Structure 1
């Protein structure tokens, strides 16, 4: 690996170990085995490097999620069965990316001080909504923009809510089954036993 890749790997490590706001350029240099000048040379600034580290961490989670959701349930499955299976997989992946989610929540508290990352995360949110909706609906994004947009907004809201509950108290956070049962009840379906 070259300095650019080493810096990014070091920044990700710092993101997970120290968080976004507490990571310094010196922390990244120590974690990457590079030098301070290489941050400016390869990324322009520590903030640009940390943004890239966060975005790549989010992309890695998204890729893992996509891979885990391939054939989560068959196309013939009822919508609520599919919903439950997908949310069960999403929740299973949260633990392996806990620190990435912690960094996202940390950044939320500082968005007014981070206008560049605010723009980047807003764009990533739109992309994430589309990806989530496509997975849940099993539809291509092209030609289904309105449907993808509305379902994506609901999925994103559920994701942020489930992640926050899971981070605060994983033992009482909802499961995929809990979410499906809640959806069933809200939609006027029969309540499952037990």
Structure 2
């Protein structure tokens, strides 16, 4: 379902939708960093094939790895806010539920706090810019990602005009968030 501007203020996205949007942003950043590592410019190598800037390729790879870790963490938070229990996350990762919780609980808590700050007057908080941007301006963030996906489409099939924003779910004003670990 496409999202209309007039609906944005009246019915904010669910926390799970915002977490999924944050994960999409991390995936976008990761893809951009990895994609930038593919071309080999003439200026990169000496005529004998050695690097003109020793260590630069490794530094770029370390940046990709850091982005991959942020994506991994955002995926766990997205799953949690989408209703997954620590047991399910542990099962998917091949670890005990307690290990999954120890690894990702702080990230989930931080994300939930950022969502609360975004709802407060003037509040984007002090988290990374993407998290504050996504929490405070989810429709704009989703549309930015719509544009990115459509610019980088490589025969992915018919993604439609809103491949990110079209899938986001709005909060039912009368509903309450539930803890995925409660019965």
Q: Shorter-chain TM-score: what band?
A: under 0.3
Query: Is the helix fraction higher in 1 or 2?
Result: 1
Which fold has the larger relative contact order, with Cα–Cα distance below 8 Å and residues 6 or more apart in sequence? 2
What is the TM-score of this pair, normalised by structure 2?
0.27
